[in-house]
Amino acid sequence: MDHSALLIAQLTDIFRIGLLVGLIYTAERTRAQTGIVVPLLVGIVFIAIIIATTMPVAGVSIWQAIVSGIVANAIITGVLWLIWSAIKRRG
């Protein structure tokens, strides 16, 4: 599997998106105690590692899956954060 196909597969993974929605919700609720940047960065890396190790893809090394997962998680988190901010600002 090439890099672009792996990234597309990770960007469209519903399980990954659900975990990242939960990450943003939790980070927003604990923002006063922990801030926002560190929990989001740690969560992005944690989710990438957990998914890569528990659901390996045939023909893809673990490190390639983790790095691609971090990139995919960062993209998804950025989009979800923009949506969350727009909803908060509107309401």
Q: What is the pLDDT of residues 25-45, one digit of tens each?
A: 999 999 999 999 999 999 999
Which residue range(s) make up the domain with 25? 3-90
Mean pLDDT across 56-83 = 96
The per-residue pLDDT for 9 is 95
Counting every residue, how long is the chain?
91
CA distances 45 to 16, 76, 89, 91, Å, are 12, 13, 28, 31
pLDDT surpasses 80 at 91: no
Q: The whole model's pTM is what?
A: 0.93
Averaged confidence pLDDT in the chain:
95
Domains: count for the chain: 1
Query: Residue 60 has what pLDDT?
Result: 94
